[in-house]
Amino acid sequence: MEVESLAREMETAVRVVHLASSLCVKVQEKLRLPSSTNGNGGGHVKSKEDDSPVTVADWGVQAIVSWVLAEVFGTQNLSIVAEEDTDSLSKSESLGLLHSVSNAVNEALSEAHKYCLPKPDKPLGSHDILKAIGRCNSTGGPKGRHWVLDPVDGTLGFVRGDQYAVALALIEDGKVLLGVLGCPNYPVKKEGLRNGCNQSGAGSVSKGCVMYAKRGSGQAWMQPLIPGGYPESTTLLKASTVDDPVLATVCEPVERANSNHLFTAGLANSMGVRKQPMRVYSMVKYAAIACGDAEVFMKFAQSSYKEKIWDHAAGVVIVEEAGGVVSDAGGRKLDFSKGVYLEGLDRGIIACSSTVLHDKIIGAVYASWESSSL
């Protein structure tokens, strides 16, 4: 598919992520209210079977993106792979939560026209909300076109008032064609993330942006988040030119369950990295590399952990089009053609701002691996 033919898909994806990010900002503000200090965000947070949190924003974003994509592209051949389902939201004890999701969705969609997106003739009912969320039940695969959505990547960061991302990508025949990341708490001022990677951006000149890229364009872009509207300004993103590990800034996941911090620390030390790692929630790590705030993202999960495509698709294409490199620890490109999971992943994931730095890290991985306990 030619890059130029993706204009409609790209524009729709960017605009709907702006709209979805505005919903997230409002929900996160409610989570910070004194009445939300009871451990479950005032009823806005629920635990999934794996004890990870899911919020009104997770379901709300999924409903909005699904509904807009269906309105723009039709439902006949619409395939959406997304993280959330309707199982727990459909239960009788979740009526209050469903009501909160419906309110958040309808409040956001009432402003859809400000983003040049379709707007429903009347507020969506609970049935419509559940239908939109449930529509996102595709499992992807090697053939066809699939939208891939993580409605709130880094929900734990979201609940804690920290970094998170709305991530939307389009995959066709196993190849990521475009990616969009909404980062509502990203400190947009120069080197903002380096100066406070685990802060929500309070005190910075401005915060919140949407980053996006199309495969093969050689360009990645950033727009500021504007409350209740679509921005006119756009900034070209370029990955850092630093290729000396001594000068590099390394990102890694916050949660120890998702990455082996000891191995990454040993690997960084063996390469001469001097700076302390930035531990960042969500795909914001990819965003930091794309805009030059960091040079390396490394993740080495336990062998039993399986990476999901919605946690990486959008970030990978944005980093690569900004001039960076992403691969598994064996140097192979990530394979998005196997369904929901990144099957065949060699040990871990490495994203770098340059080929030179990437090659050095791959070499260090091979040298360090045998002594690790992964």
Exactly one of 12, 55, 58, 264 is catalytic; name it.
58
172 is in an annotated binding site: no
CB 188 within 8 A of CB 200: no
150 is in an annotated binding site: yes
Closest CA to 299 of 311, 287, 314, 317: 311
34, two tokens: 């004194």
Which element (helix H / strand E) includes 315? helix 313-321
Task: Kindly give the interhelix angle for 126-134 and 95-109, rounded to the nearest 10 degrees.
Answer: 90
162 is in an annotated binding site: no
Q: What is the DSSP string of 196-254?
A: -TTS--TTSS-EEEEEEEETTSS-EEEEE-BTTB--S--EEE-------GGG--EEE-S
Exactly one of 12, 55, 86, 155 is catalytic; name it.
155
311 is in an annotated binding site: yes
CB 319 within 8 A of CB 295: no
**Known catalytic residue at 155:** yes
DSSP-based three-state secondary structure for 15: helix
Q: What is the DSSP string of 125-153?
A: PHHHHHHHHHT-B----SSSEEEEEEEEE
Task: Kindly give the interhelix angle for 7-31 and 56-73, rounded to the nearest 10 degrees.
Answer: 160
| Annotation: binding site | 83, 150, 153, 311
| Annotation: binding site for Mg(2+) | 83, 150, 153, 311
Residues carrying an active site annotation: 58, 155
